[in-house]
Amino acid sequence: MIESSAPARIDFAGGTLDIWPLYLFFGLPPTLNAAIDCYATVQLTPDPSSKAITLESRDLGIREQFSSCNALPEGKHPLSLLIKTVQFYQPKEGGTLVTSCQAPPGSGIGGSSALNIALHGALNTWTGRKMTRQTLLKVAKNIETQVIEVPTGWQDYFPALYGGALAVLPGLESVGYSRIPLDLNEMTRRFVLCYTGAPRRSAINNWEVTKDALDGKKSVVRKLTALQNIAKRMEPILRAEKWDALAEMLKEEWEARKALAPNIATLEMKNLIKHAKSKGAWVAKVCGAGGGGCVAFMVPPDLKTAVSDELQARGGTVLPFRFVKRGLQIKHDRR
């Protein structure tokens, strides 16, 4: 049995600009995020006596068996991410691969990318490919791009792979990262994560934004420039653990994000944000591309319980979580 798991994340700034080639046109801004203890898990049981491949997604409630790796279907399929990843690794023997994710569907906290990284961790171990983590990340990103058929950003794979609070750093040669040595317990005390109950519908169409930016659409370029500047200014504040200043920067990021995508917050989200602020929340930020999913709230530590209770009373689902240092973990039981 091989079991791998990888964490989801909360994003703070720089999202959308982590898509190639946007970051090349906007000063190579960092993307700031942090891993949380909401895990995607893959259980892989090899079967040397068979060539059959069984794929199961517990989240989708789908289980299918194929006679061999060569019998895996091409084209669109509900299990396309699993299928394309197994096809890449070309295992020589059969096995059963079961996936699950603690992140709610469409939550905007990078659950699919965490699952993708966990999937590669298990298959890389099983097949003995010995890919470096840097290569594994690139392959995971490229396969997910094939599955969703639009360009993907870089940011979600880094916290899933490496854990902790990170600045994802695009460059001319490659995209790297830098750890932000925060007191993660102190940061956890200041955040509440709430799921609205409705999967996100990606209010920010990153492909449309990318095309508009490449076409030189002035309004989009202006809004992306604002997001670039905020990400660059937020990084030193985050590193210095200036919590009050971080709240102010998150407010600024949220206003700029709404300017880029006016539909990023649904009516349900707006209602939850209003009531959370009435109980003392400093700022709210829709996670990921928005249009549903999760909202992260930064709150005074002594009001965290009151804000959480209000969100629950107003129909939200508060997700207990901690920011965590751990990224991808793989356990290999050879018995």
- The CATH architecture to which 2-180+324-332 belongs is 2-Layer Sandwich (3.30)
Residue 326's Cβ-side half-sphere holds a number of Cα atoms within 13 Å equal to 13
Q: Pairing state of beta strands 165-170 and 31-47?
A: antiparallel
Phi, psi of 294 (to 5 degrees): -105, 155
Which residue do the tokens 């690794």 mark? 89
Kindly report which listed range (57-61, 165-169, 197-201) carries the lowest average pLDDT score: 197-201
Q: Give CA–CA dist 51/91, Å, rounded.
A: 9
The residue-averaged pLDDT of 52-74 equals 96
Phi, psi of 263 (to 5 degrees): -95, 15
What pLDDT, in 10s, does the model give residues 306-323? 999 999 999 999 999 999
Q: Do domains 2-180+324-332 and 184-318 have the same CATH topology?
A: no
pLDDT band at residue 201 using 50, 70 and 90 as cut-offs: low
How high is the pLDDT of residue 203?
A: 46
What pLDDT, in 10s, does the model give residues 85-121? 999 999 999 999 999 999 988 899 999 999 999 999 9
Residue 202 scores a pLDDT above 80: no
Instruction: Locate the DSSP E strands across the chain.
Output: 2-13, 31-47, 53-57, 62-66, 94-101, 165-170, 175-179, 191-195, 283-286, 294-298, 317-318, 329-332
Which residue do the tokens 């895990």 mark? 39
This prediction's pTM: 0.94
Q: Which two tokens stand for residue 1?
A: 């049995």
What pLDDT, in 10s, does the model give residues 25-46? 999 999 999 999 999 999 999 9
How high is the pLDDT of residue 335?
A: 67
Angstrom distances, CA of residue 157 to CA of 40, 122, 163: 12, 15, 10
Instruction: Locate the DSSP E strands across 102-224.
Output: 165-170, 175-179, 191-195
Residue 287 scores a pLDDT above 50: yes
Task: Say which residues have a Cβ less than 8 Å from residue 109's Cβ, sequence separation at least 6.
Answer: 8, 9, 10, 36, 38, 103, 193, 287, 288, 293, 294
Q: Give CA–CA dist 215/41, Å, rounded.
A: 40
Cβ neighbourhood burial of 129 (10 Å; 0-12, 13-18, 19+): middle
Q: Which of 208, 222, 259 shows the shortest CA–CA distance to 26?
A: 222
Fold of the 184-318 domain: Alpha-Beta Plaits (3.30.70)
Residue 333 scores a pLDDT above 90: no
High-pLDDT (> 90) share of the chain, %: 87
Q: Give CA–CA dist 34/106, Å, rounded.
A: 18
Domain boundaries, the chain: 2-180+324-332, 184-318
What secondary structure letter does DSSP report for 112?
A: H
Average per-residue pLDDT for the chain: 94
Collapsed DSSP state (helix, strand, coil) of residue 152: coil
